């Protein structure tokens, strides 16, 4: 095993290497390179490890639409919170959702008003809660990207096998490929490459992202989440950019394979099918999420407990532009003033991996 | 939210395994890694083992970085 000091030395050397290559990029193309980290976990890791700050002026790192809470549109957030209005219900959720501000409150506020809202580590825990409370309806709020969708499928599989009839899931999942295509089609953000999400790739495989190189002629590197992993991936991205080679490179081979996790993909596609999804600040994107196949509607909370949609309350929150990489968090008038981690208004400040939360905690000038 | 943590597999029982995550033990599902063996390291996300970590590749990455540090890379791609 490497000693911590060894890791630290390697990180420093790799950082220097990245800076040298970024200088070479600037001399060659007359501007600094812009790379988008797609994953919210990368956004937080880049900020927390100091990599983003250390590369200011060398590499522009743009946070992409890879935080599930942040990209969920307000109508969906409002609908999920409205689920607590029903009687005899237990709402189970990942922790990321409880403080997200809907138009008329949060799940946390609903809980303080006496509603049964529970944070669980895994959706399978929600199935167990349903078994323990057979006379109540247990609804799990199923948000997430491709890493999480198989986990949701595993919970449905357990509920199906155990014939748990009082368990259902309100799905609001998102897929990475359609949103990357949308960003590249819109062309609102000039990008030299993508830092691809390691754990989405763990499920989907390197090959899944090949379209970035073949169709859009843009390099991309799959990365892990340690400082060394991310610096190594950035080094590869810079080398590819300098050589003007559009390649999708797997720099996280210890976890990511060419085809991804075949079992996880099988179970995803067993219970769920592609559906149109609404993205915050972007609108509805065709086939950009997954929802229940009709034969599994007994687990579909949208079918069991339909919620009338309401026009969401308008705010000055600019999370919709933040997740598309159009603005940095401080460009939002609310950032650091009305909207802080203690009093979050937008989901990018609420989420543990939102761009605004990362920027507030690690990037602000004191 | 798509983050996973490495864990060592201690015990396997049909579709679940007891794993050690930095000193804490927990049960996780293994339907996505049916070939997993005791002693393997896995990535755990929200109660499920999602991938078996290939230690050979992990070592190779470290070696690659070490070589880079030693040689102060000439900028050629080792891919």
Helix axes A4-29, B55-71, angle to 10 degrees: 60
Residue A175, pLDDT score: 97
Residue B2, pLDDT score: 57
Residue A158, pLDDT score: 96
Nearest alpha-carbon partner for A233 in A92, A103, A39:
A39
DSSP states of A106-118 as a string? -HHHHHHTT-EEE
- CB proximity A250 to B under 8 Å: no
* CB-closest option in B43, B47, B62 to A2: B62
A24: nearest CA partner in chain B:
B75
Residue with tokens 């179970």: A267
| A vs B: CB pairs below 8 A | 127
Q: How far is A245 from chain B (nearest CA, A)?
A: 11
- CB proximity B61 to A under 8 Å: yes
pTM value? 0.90
Residue B76, pLDDT score: 43
Q: How confident is the model at residue B69 (pLDDT cuts 50, 70, 90)?
A: low
Residue A207, pLDDT score: 98
- CB proximity A168 to B under 8 Å: no
Question: Residue A86 and residue A202: Cα distance in Å, rounded?
Answer: 38
Residue A40, pLDDT score: 86
pLDDT surpasses 80 at B75: no
Local structure of residue A99 (DSSP, 8 states): T
Mean pLDDT, contiguous 10-residue spans, chain A (366 residues): 60 92 97 93 91 94 87 89 93 90 88 95 96 98 95 97 97 96 87 95 98 97 93 96 97 95 97 95 92 98 88 82 86 90 84 85 74
Mutate to test the interface with A, among B15, B42, B46 (most CBs of A within 10 A): B46
Cβ–Cβ below 8 Å for A122 and B68: no
DSSP states of A41-88 as a string? HHHHHHHHTTHHHHTTTT-EEEE-S--HHHHB-HHHHHHHHHGGGSTT
B46 contact residues in A (CB cutoff 8 A): 94, 121-123, 148, 151
* Beta strand B24-29 pairing with B16-21: antiparallel
Query: In sequence order, what are the residues at sequence separation of 6 or more whose Cβ sits closer than 8 angstroms to the Cβ of residue A333?
Result: A316, A318
Query: What pLDDT, in 10s, does the model give residues A162-190?
Result: 999 999 999 999 999 999 999 999 887 88
Mean pLDDT, all residues of chain B: 81
Residue A119, pLDDT score: 96
Cβ–Cβ below 8 Å for A263 and B34: yes
Cβ–Cβ below 8 Å for A255 and B48: no
Helices (H), chain B: 55-71
- CB proximity B48 to A under 8 Å: yes
Cβ–Cβ below 8 Å for A66 and B2: yes
Q: How confident is the model at residue B71 (pLDDT cuts 50, 70, 90)?
A: low
Phi, psi of A346 (to 5 degrees): -100, 155
* CB-closest option in A199, A229, A242 to B45: A199
The SS3 assignment for B9 reads strand
Q: How confident is the model at residue B1 (pLDDT cuts 50, 70, 90)?
A: low
Query: What pLDDT, in 10s, does the model give residues B8-35?
Result: 999 999 889 999 988 889 999 999 999 9
The SS3 assignment for A308 reads coil
Residue B73, pLDDT score: 44
The SS3 assignment for A331 reads helix
CA distances from A141 to A96, A106, A194, A237 (A): 11, 14, 29, 36
């Amino acid at each position: 095993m490497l000693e911590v000091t060894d890791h630290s030395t390697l990180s420093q050397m790799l950082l220097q290497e990245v800076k040298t290559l970024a200088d070479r990029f600037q001399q060659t193309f007359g501007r600094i390179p812009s790379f988008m980290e797609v994953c919210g976990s990368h956004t937080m890791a880049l900020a927390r490890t100091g990599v983003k700050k250390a590369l200011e002026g060398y590499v522009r790192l743009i946070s992409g639409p890879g935080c599930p809470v942040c990209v969920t549109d307000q109508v969906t957030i409002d609908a999920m919170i409205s689920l607590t209005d029903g009687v005899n219900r237990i709402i189970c959720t990942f922790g990321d959702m409880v403080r997200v501000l809907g138009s008329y409150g949060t799940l946390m506020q609903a809980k303080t008003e006496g509603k049964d809202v529970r944070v669980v580590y895994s959706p399978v825990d929600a199935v167990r809660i349903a078994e323990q409370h057979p006379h109540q309806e247990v609804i799990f709020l199923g948000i997430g990207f491709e890493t999480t969708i198989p986990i949701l499928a595993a919970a449905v599989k357990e509920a199906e096998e155990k014939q748990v009839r009082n368990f259902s899931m309100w799905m609001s999942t998102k897929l990475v490929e359609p949103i990357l295509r949308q960003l590249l089609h819109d062309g609102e953000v000039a990008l030299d490459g993508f830092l691809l999400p390691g754990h989405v790739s763990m499920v989907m495989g390197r090959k899944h992202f090949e379209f970035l190189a073949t169709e859009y002629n843009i390099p991309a590197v799959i990365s892990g989440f340690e400082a060394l992993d991310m610096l190594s991936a950035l080094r590869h991205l810079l080398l590819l950019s300098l050589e003007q080679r559009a390649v999708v490179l797997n720099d996280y081979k210890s976890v990511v394979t060419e085809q991804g996790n075949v079992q996880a993909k099988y179970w995803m596609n067993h219970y769920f099918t592609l559906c149109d999804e609404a993205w915050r600040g972007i609108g509805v994107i065709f086939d950009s999420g997954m929802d229940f196949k009709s034969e599994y509607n007994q687990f579909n909370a949208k079918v069991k407990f339909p919620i009338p949609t309401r026009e969401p309350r308008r705010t000055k929150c600019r999370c919709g532009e933040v997740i598309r990489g159009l603005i940095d968090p401080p460009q939002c008038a609310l950032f650091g003033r009305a909207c802080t981690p203690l009093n979050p208004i937008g989901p990018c400040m609420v989420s543990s991996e939102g761009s605004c939360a990362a920027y507030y905690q690690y990037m602000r000038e004191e | 939210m798509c983050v996973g943590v490495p864990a060592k597999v201690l015990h396997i029982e049909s579709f679940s395994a007891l794993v050690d995550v930095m000193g804490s033990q927990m049960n996780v599902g293994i339907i996505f890694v049916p070939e997993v063996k005791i002693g393997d390291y896995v990535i755990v996300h929200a109660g499920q083992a999602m991938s078996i970590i290939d230690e050979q590749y992990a070592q190779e990455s470290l070696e690659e970085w070490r070589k880079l540090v030693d040689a102060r890379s000439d900028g050629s791609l080792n891919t």
